[in-house]
Amino acid sequence: MTDDLNRRGFMGAAVTAGAAIIPGFGPAFAATPGYDYDAAIASFKFKDPIWNRDAYGKLQANLDTTKTKYGWVQGVCLGTKDNERVRELFGFEVASACKFIKNADGSYRKLLREVGYYTDLKTGEFLSEWVNPYTNETVKVVPVTNDPFNYTISEFYPDPPSFGGMNKEKPPKIPFLLKWTVASKTTLLLETDIHLFYPNALDPEKWPRESSGKMLRASEMYRYVIRVEDMADPNKTSVEYSGTWNRITPWLPWMLMGQSQGHITYVTYMGGFDSMDSIPAKLLAHTKANHPKFLVAPEKDEGPSLSSLENYARTQKPAPPKQPGT
């Protein structure tokens, strides 16, 4: 996260160092005739933690604390076990709503609600139960309901999520300098990753069928595609984006795989927008009908920010032992 980044002159113009350029990368956005892209790119203060804080804040929410930012995710979950091909197991779709609170020190507190649904890969229908192909057992599907998941965006990298106190890691303060890439004169890219290893909220002694073990290893990888004109516009308090979100995680607890070898990989597209109507129509309708609260951003910073596993431990009960022959 703190690697120095190099940025060379774009379109023959000399610009300051701070982000990488991908030679030959085609424009993701159409160019506006007469717009000064060299000046726009030169205005990006990639080496300034305050600029990074505010630029990242415009992606994550809206610097206007009265306004809501909406997000969505759509993709597939893959299962990986030794000595067999990777399997496509089910789809995954997320809808979210968030706002900022501005802190006295200039940092922002992101207030987020998000709900994630698992879907049938053939029909696209939202799942309430699923036949596990590894065990041939029909299991209850538990959606992700993060209410809330709040964190602070400042001029320093935030501490890793505490996940209800399960993650004790407290790294030193590091200036908030993100990994930006100028992909073309119209297109700015951003990548942010997090890799965690911490005690599992689902103790295998209490949750033998749900828990992957005493410790949990998880990684999340985000890639943002951003219009240069939007990020360079000083009047914009929110910048819309598209991109990808990937996650590597143990078997999901409701799959009832216990500590068997293997893991899940989420491979998805994501987007952040100023209008709720930017959420895909089917996902939006399902969320309105089943979890409408998750389309309304929190107004106050309250409640612990818990992982989906911590929420699972609080809302579910351990499954009974599997019966022979089932």
pLDDT tens-digit readout, 43-69: 999 999 999 999 999 999 999 999 999
pLDDT exceeds 50 at position 17: no
Indicate the pLDDT class of residue 305, thresholds 50, 70 and 90.
confident
Indicate the pLDDT class of residue 9, thresholds 50, 70 and 90.
very low
pLDDT exceeds 50 at position 1: no
Strand partners, 239: none
pLDDT over 70, % of the chain: 88
Indicate the pLDDT class of residue 302, thresholds 50, 70 and 90.
confident
pLDDT exceeds 60 at position 18: no
| Residue found under tokens 């991109």 | 243
Write phi, then psi, for 57 (nearest 5 degrees). -60, -40
Q: Give the mean model confidence (pLDDT) for residues 30-34.
A: 96
Closest C-alpha among 131, 161, 167 to residue 146: 161
Pairwise pLDDT comparison (8 vs 193), residue with the higher score: 193
Q: Give the mean model confidence (pLDDT) for residues 20-47.
A: 86
Q: Please say whether the beta carbons of 145 and 291 come within 8 A.
A: yes
Indicate the pLDDT class of residue 27, thresholds 50, 70 and 90.
low
Rounded CA separation 245/188 (Å): 17
Q: Give the mean model confidence (pLDDT) for residues 252-269.
A: 98
Rounded CA separation 252/307 (Å): 13
Q: Give the mean model confidence (pLDDT) for residues 235-251.
A: 98
pLDDT exceeds 80 at position 312: yes
| Residue found under tokens 């109507």 | 277
pLDDT exceeds 50 at position 205: yes
Secondary-structure percent of the chain, ordered helix, strand, coil, rounded to 5 = 15, 35, 50
Indicate the pLDDT class of residue 8, thresholds 50, 70 and 90.
very low
Q: In the predicted model, what is the mean pLDDT of the chain?
A: 91
At 13 the pLDDT is: 31
pLDDT exceeds 90 at position 108: yes
pLDDT exceeds 70 at position 325: no
At 164 the pLDDT is: 60
pLDDT exceeds 90 at position 316: yes
Alpha helix locations (H) across 30-189? 37-42, 49-60
Q: Which stretch of 17-21, 118-122, 229-233 has the lowest confidence by average pLDDT?
A: 17-21
Residues 6 or more apart whose CB falls under 8 angstroms from that of 290 comprise none
| Residue found under tokens 């305050």 | 50
According to DSSP, the β-strands at 151-153 and 144-146 are: unpaired
Q: Give the mean model confidence (pLDDT) for residues 212-239.
A: 97
Q: Give the mean model confidence (pLDDT) for residues 283-307.
A: 95
**CA distance readout (Å), 103 to 63, 83, 108:** 12, 51, 6
pLDDT exceeds 60 at position 5: no
At 131 the pLDDT is: 98
Indicate the pLDDT class of residue 158, thresholds 50, 70 and 90.
confident
Rounded CA separation 190/28 (Å): 14
Indicate the pLDDT class of residue 323, thresholds 50, 70 and 90.
confident
Pairwise pLDDT comparison (39 vs 158), residue with the higher score: 39
